[in-house]
Amino acid sequence: MTNLPDEPDTDTDPYDEDRPPSKSQRKRDMQQLKDLAVRLTELTGDTLERIEPPELLDAVKAATRIHRGSARKRQIQYIAKLLSKMDIEPITTIIDSIDASTGVYVARFHQLEQWREKLIEGDAEAMSEICSQYPDVDRPRLRQLTRQAAEEKARDQQGAHFRKLFQFLKQLDD
């Protein structure tokens, strides 16, 4: 009778922790960073100004001015290199908050719509929730927009004030 060696436990390979990532994994990681760098170059205005550190912000601004193929590609690679040396979680949060294809954006959008509906219905809890989340909100303006939107709804219209209220809430969130 031959003794068969025990099969190695693939779930707990003791060498996995000591090994550096494979070349393929490093390439995949770098490609993700390049994709993030491209998304950063698509940001504008106040969203762009929220990027930290300043060195990264300068590199992104430089990339937006470059329109030639190879020069732009090098700048994107430089941004990706900067990203590889830092925690990218805050940056992905910024991008996800404005990218309509992400769940973060959709959830934020739904929250704003719910607040608008509750405000129009006269829900005082929604008003206090907004005021507690955004302490420096212009309360008189919020009440005015809410009152005007409620009057529109009473007339079976959803016009300008309905949209203005949503835009006001959206600006608070930005």
Domain residue extents for the chain: 23-98, 103-173
Whole-angstrom distance, CA of residue 161 vs CA of residue 159: 6
Whether 1 shows a pLDDT value over 60: the answer reads: no
Chain CA centroid to CA 84, Å = 19
Question: HEC profile for 75-105?
Answer: HHHHHHHHHHCCCCHHHHHHHHHHCCCCHHH
- Band (pLDDT 50/70/90 cuts) for residue 105 is confident
Judge contact between 97 and 108, C-beta under 8 A.
yes
pLDDT at 21: 86
Q: What pLDDT score was predicted for residue 20?
A: 87
Per-residue pLDDT of 37-91, as tens digits, reads: 998 888 877 777 888 888 998 999 999 899 888 999 999 999 999 999 999 888 8
Contact, 157 vs 151, CB < 8 A? no
DSSP letter assigned to residue 4: P
CATH topology of domain 23-98: Diphtheria Toxin Repressor; domain 2 (1.10.60)
Q: Give the three-state DSSP class for 9.
A: coil
Domain 23-98 identical in fold to domain 103-173:
yes
Topology classification of domain 103-173: Diphtheria Toxin Repressor; domain 2 (1.10.60)
